[in-house]
Amino acid sequence: MQIHEFQAKNIFKEYGIPVPEGEIANNPQEAISVMEKLNSKVVVKAQVHSGGRGKVGGVKLAENSDDVFRFSSEMIGRKLVTNQTAGNGLPVNKVLIEKVTEIETELYLAVTMDYESGSPVVIISTEGGMEIETIAEKNPEKILKIFGDPLLELLPYKIRKLFEKLNIEPSLYKQFSSIILKVYKIFVEKDCSLIEINPLVISNEKFIALDAKISIEEDALFRQTKIQDLFDSTQIDPLELEALKYDLSYVKLYDGDVGCMVNGAGLAMATMDITVKAGTKPANFLDVGGSADQNKIKKAFEIITEDSDVKVILVNLFGGILRCDIAAQGIIEALKDKKEYPSIIGVFRGTNSEEAKRILTDSKIKLIFAEDLIDAAKKIKEIE
Ligand code: GDP
Ligand code: MN
């Protein structure tokens, strides 16, 4: 789960990581008040669950109160499209107003999980401000890493060795290591999957986190009750939000038109591959889960049919704990009151698959059966 920059910065403050002085504003008038209080030039920052805001007008420097009013009016109430957002962007409901920081040096700092070593990894680069993907591609030698240890945490000597490679004023070492240790502590204590500070800047011999991104591991949310309250449903696709309520793994994909309903993540991936092989593209990833019941299937099917991008639905079920006949009932329930719906291709195998086919044939639902995925691919091609 993601949280907003200002919320991440509040956590930084709690742990003693320096951030620019600032406050949140819900409207342009509030933005002016914050600027007056700060009594300085400010940066106006759109609060959306996405980076890359700077390049698309989501981060602006305001010299005076006219600027701050204009920039916040332009941002609040609009959607911001960045190179990281899908669909038509994310709505801006608040802006963060911060004192401008003079930048001398920009660094990139992140902590995430390294699945190979099974431990958290701290990633640092002197190419701050740039996207880490670009640095990784063009200057991979400029990305430095140090690994934590699940038992020993992060040993200070590793930070010192890394610092020596960075070409930073030695007198700043204490501050630097303190920030790294604190970010690492947040990562562990808040069950994060990612903390990213890009840029971490040096300004007047002080380190300041100019940007802040924190993602929390969803499987640990049950014990992060304070962070649960920061959930912002406006930053999620409405269909994804609906799926979340029913515990369905659903990801909307914006460039396809084949809706996929599958049980099991591996099977779902294979099904998406097959739709691409057939010369089309999946409109979503959807794993209803191994132990779905009729109601969950109904909900999943409704979510797919509500997606106006979907032209064909591919149902690929392998009956196990979820019996195919139960799934068939769920599909019938979902379509009961619908006069129109996309063409449906169904592959039913495993437990009670024959029963499922019989139930669906007896219902008035128009559904084309396919033997397997290859056959399904052929039939998608015929329809499209
Ligand atoms: P992002 O584009 O969504 O990652 O948003 P950032 O918070 O990283 O801001 C984008 C860029 O704006 C940063 O990389 C900085 O170069 C610049 N910026 C943000 N705040 C300040 C500031 O206080 N002073 C200066 N000089 N530049 C800033
Ligand atoms: Mn940034």
pLDDT on residue 246: 92
8 Å CB contact between 313 and 342: yes
Q: Computed from CA positions of residues 366, 371, 373, 379, in that sequence, does the dihedral angle turn out positive or negative?
A: negative
Decide: 312 in ligand 1 pocket, CB within 6 A. Answer: no
| Per-residue pLDDT tens digits for 29-52 | 999 999 999 999 999 999 999 999
Specify whether the backbone of 381 is left (phi greater than 0), alpha (psi in -120 to 50) or beta. Answer: alpha
Flag whether pLDDT at 384 surpasses 80.
Answer: no
| Per-residue pLDDT tens digits for 96-144 | 999 999 999 999 999 999 999 999 999 999 987 778 888 889 989 999 9
Q: Which two tokens stand for residue 196?
A: 């990213």
Q: Which two tokens stand for residue 381?
A: 């091609």
CA distance 381 to 103: 56
| Per-residue pLDDT tens digits for 137-170 | 998 999 999 999 988 889 999 999 999 999 999 9
* 287-311: b (≥16 Cβ within 10 Å) or e: bbbeebebebbbbbbbbbbebebbb
- Residue to probe by mutation, ligand 1, list 49, 85, 100, 103, most atoms within 8 Å of CB: 103
Domain ranges of the chain: 21-99, 105-228, 237-383
What is the average pLDDT score of the chain? 95
Q: Which two tokens stand for residue 283?
A: 């409109």
Closest CA to 97 of 56, 19, 42, 157: 42
CATH superfamily entry for domain 21-99: ATP-grasp fold, A domain (3.30.1490.20)
Q: Which two tokens stand for residue 378?
A: 């052929």
Confidence of residue 8 (pLDDT cuts 50, 70, 90): very high
Flag whether pLDDT at 229 surpasses 90.
Answer: yes
**The one catalytic residue among 5, 108, 184, 302:** 108
Strand partners, 261: 315
% of the chain surpassing 70 pLDDT: 100
CATH for 105-228, among 3.30.470.20, 3.90.1570.30, 3.50.50.60, 3.40.50.2000? 3.30.470.20
CA distance 70 to 62: 9
Say which DSSP state 88 is in. T
Mean pLDDT of the 277-303 span: 92
**The one catalytic residue among 5, 196, 250, 302:** 196
Please name the residue whose Cα sits nearest to atom 11 of ligand 1. Answer: 54
Decide: 282 in ligand 1 pocket, CB within 6 A. Answer: no
| Per-residue pLDDT tens digits for 230-284 | 999 999 999 999 999 998 999 999 999 999 999 999 999 999 998 998 899 999 9
Q: What is the pTM of this model?
A: 0.89
Strand partners, 2: 215
| Per-residue pLDDT tens digits for 85-95 | 988 899 999 99
Write down the architecture of domain 237-383 according to CATH. Answer: 3-Layer(aba) Sandwich (3.40)
